[in-house]
Amino acid sequence: MGCHCKLLLAVSFGIFAIIHIVKAQPDQQGFISLDCGLPPGESPYTDPVTGLTFSSDADYIQSGKRGEPGDSVTYTYRQYKDLRYFPDGIRNCYNLAVNKGTNYLIRAGFSYGNYDGLNVYPKFDLHVGPNMWIAVDLDNDDDREIIYMSKSNLLQICLVKTGSTIPMISTLELRPVRNDSYMTQLGPLNLIYRRAYTGNSGGFIRYPDDVFDRKWVPYNWFETNVNTTLNVTSSNPFVVPDAVSRSGISPRNVTLPLGFYMFTNDDSDKVNVYFHFAEIQTLNANDTREFDILLDGDIIHKAYSPKVLQSETKYNISPQKCGFGSCDLDLVRTQRSTLPPLINAIETFTVLDFPYAETNPDDGIRCYENIQESYGLNIISWQGDPCVPELLKWEDLKCSYTNKSTPPRVISLDLSSHGLKGVITHAFQNLTELQKLDLSNNSLTGEVPEFIASMKSLSIINLNWNDLTGPLPKTFHDREKSGLKLTVQGNPRICADASCKGNNQKYVLPVVASAASVLIIIAMVILILVFKKKRPTQVDSSSTVQPVLPTSRQSIITQTKRFTYSEVAAFTDNFERVLGEGGFGVVYHGSLNGTQPIAVKLLSQSSVQGYKEFKAEVELLLRVHHVNLVSLVGYCDEEGHLALLYEYAPNGDLKQHLSGERGGSPLKWSSRLKIVVETAQGLEYLHTGCQPPMVHRDVKTTNILLDEHFQAKLADFGLSRSFPIGGETHVSTAVAGTPGYLDPEYYRTNRLNEKSDVYSFGIVLLEIITSRPVIQQTRERTHIAAWVGYMLSKGDIENVVDPRLNKDYEPTSVWKALEIAMSCVNPSSEKRPTMSQVTNELKQCLTLDNSKRGGREDMGSRSSAEMSTSFTTEIIPKAR
């Protein structure tokens, strides 16, 4: 394809507050335009810039508080002057009436403006119904946009709290778009960057120029601008505005392709790209403009020629993954073309996976709105989908789940002790799959309605301790035979049938709890208490009362190997010789009994770690013993002085040797293999030899120490955690670790297991092979895993391996080590090997290298085709 400049879609557009307005305003039918936080008394209003009519969001959401950004914030659009924030509850949802089966452009706008005076940008998630749309990190004010086909006549947009900051929103806008335009049948389309057009007019284009109110942003192009004053028609479903189509660009060097870069948020993302074209130049009789449209090297349209003064859209029919976190978008001139490519506008989307089916409409939110209205309830968690996702399921409900694609059903509703007053509402009968209904401990009055007994799925009804009256309908007696269990204890004015009077009550069903059983239980409890009171209390006179320490300072497992602070100071000659410094504090050289060299880590007052990490590391090292784990000589925990005493590793850490910091000749390949095998053995022991198993959580080259014999010792266990055994597969914990080494799946989900260590170890292995930084901004791919994958896909293995090795290695051994490393850094933890498997494979590498080093084929003899086949299917995680 040749070398050519590419335009970076993520950062190269200019932003100007100039709006194109035309006199003829299109219809706003179907538009929903909410100014979030706008007082109802100021609603509605017409935005003076766009002519759009905005209303208060007060009628669309039951929670949240009104706020206003600071006075210093300026706004192009009136709707960003107000905001709504949500300090209460986890999920807060807007309920919007839409048309089922219609494509909607949904845009959420945010202007934080330091409204709370904290100057901390909020982070939270946006959901469409039960499905995750996007994680919002408002490091700047911006919009988020999705094109989505509604699954019902009710659309819910939810803000979900995920951390300590409070979700907020400024504006919420829905615009119906044509169903025959964007490919939502592939899945919802999340706009990656701003929608870009290639003009040089320097202004936004949106409604009313765009009948769908899409926002088009101009780019700062470094190519040749092409413009026309003639009208450009758009007869296709996309209805690209004339103001967008009247300008375009061609490559400055007419012999080269026109190319763009597009970065995805995740390497597993599938993209759907829409290219908008119109021929806006006057062509001579012998002129031809023809080019191929390529998406990441694949031709999605061959030999395309734009139509004269008529807008046309081309896109990839099937969603496509891009290699190594970025996509190449190229327009390549064909051989018969006399003119270079030309483009007017571009839209880039990722295709989202919305796995959860909404709760069955029969159990939908309208039922619960009626129930809450009947009793004046306001249950904060009753927002969004009742059953999914399961972690956000409503309080007081239980649901049945078949699979993600099958709508769940509500099977249990517990409104016990909710202060319900009045009669039992007919709204309950809409819950047709309900198996258990608990309305006990309320103030319900009136008769027990017959419709409850007619609910065929109901098997348990608890009406205890209300003020219900009258005889029970005969239907309840009939249902008793099929297993219905009704309890009405504590309702003295209920009787079995119409003939019963006053308090001469017969409880209706044998399943009603009898008073006798209650009295028996009470009597047994009294007997137990009397018996315990009469037993003499025996006190050991030799025992002493031990003080109870605060939870954070409870004693460590054992008191062995504990030193005083004065002893630690003596061991280190008053902390004279500094070996290094880390997150825990300063590391000093010391000597135990004048003979055994030790390293002493002293917790500093400004340490980012604390007693919790100190305690975790001591407790772990006191119970683990392995030749490839650093040994704990002792510790100090005395009046705020915290120190860890380790065996001394005179050859420093692995990072120093790979970077050349310690000088001397580079480590040989055989030495590197030996070190990495020993490190793998230490990790394998943590994962399989400890009870309970441990996850290190901070595997990196600076935590691999080398003793006098260059034997590897894995160190720094302050972040280590036990992980579950048995049926559970992970533990949920706050993300901790080192950028670059951090498992992207763990970072994304907070779900920690041993495979997180496997990922970090894979990065260490890549460092050992390449001697290159984990993060390097100047190379083709920033993160080492993405860069290695990129180089291997080109068949360029020689430039991957550390050149300082001077090819003094067994090629098959290096290749196998690369394959092991790439399998360890797979984005999916399920596809990574275990540390036991890694250890066995690396031992084979060591065996290969120690065998016939000169009898193998040269590294360069492995064909590019073989290498490409091996690695192009791997998805390499980008730096996070």
Residues catalogued as catalytic: 698
CA angle 17, 272, 143 (to 5 degrees): 30
The sign of the dihedral angle between the CA atoms of 456, 462, 466, 470 is positive
Contact 195, 347 (CB under 8 A): yes
For 234, the 3-state DSSP assignment is: coil
Give 637's Cβ-side CA count (13 Å radius): 22
Q: What's CA 153's distance to the chain center, in Å? A: 28
CA distance 147 to 768: 45
Of 32, 86, 73, 74, nearest in space to 55 by CA: 32
Provide the token pair at 866.
């073989």
The sign of the dihedral angle between the CA atoms of 546, 550, 551, 554 is negative
Residue 249 CB: number of other CB atoms within 10 A? 24
Residue 768 CB: number of other CB atoms within 10 A? 24
Phi, psi of 556 (to 5 degrees): -75, 165
For 617, the 3-state DSSP assignment is: helix
> Does 506 count as an annotated binding residue?
no
Phi, psi of 831 (to 5 degrees): -90, 0
Strands (E), 476-605: 485-487, 493-495, 562-563, 578-581, 585-592, 596-603
CA distance 659 to 592: 31
CA distance 275 to 299: 13
CA distance 649 to 715: 10
Burial 195-222 (b: 16+ CB within 10 A, else e): bbbbbeeebbbbbbbbbbbbbbbbbebe
Q: What's CA 504's distance to the chain center, in Å? A: 62
CA distance 691 to 681: 16
Helices 754-770 and 669-684 cross at an angle (nearest 10°) of 170
For 128, the 3-state DSSP assignment is: strand
Of 512, 495, 514, 511, nearest in space to 503 by CA: 495
CA distance 215 to 204: 7
The sign of the dihedral angle between the CA atoms of 91, 94, 96, 101 is negative
Q: What is the largest CA-CA distance in the chain?
A: 114
Helices 811-824 and 669-684 cross at an angle (nearest 10°) of 30
CA distance 332 to 290: 9
For 525, the 3-state DSSP assignment is: helix
User: Could you identify the residue written with the tokens 């047709």?
Assistant: 432
Provide the token pair at 685.
């022991």
Residue type, 841: E
List C-alpha distances in Å: 717 to 567, 608, 720, 867. Answer: 24, 15, 5, 38
CA distance 668 to 805: 6
CA distance 435 to 17: 57
Residues 401, 403, 407, 413: what is their CA dihedral angle, to the nearest 10 degrees? 10
The sign of the dihedral angle between the CA atoms of 658, 660, 661, 665 is positive
Please give the annotated binding residues for ATP, written as ranges: 601
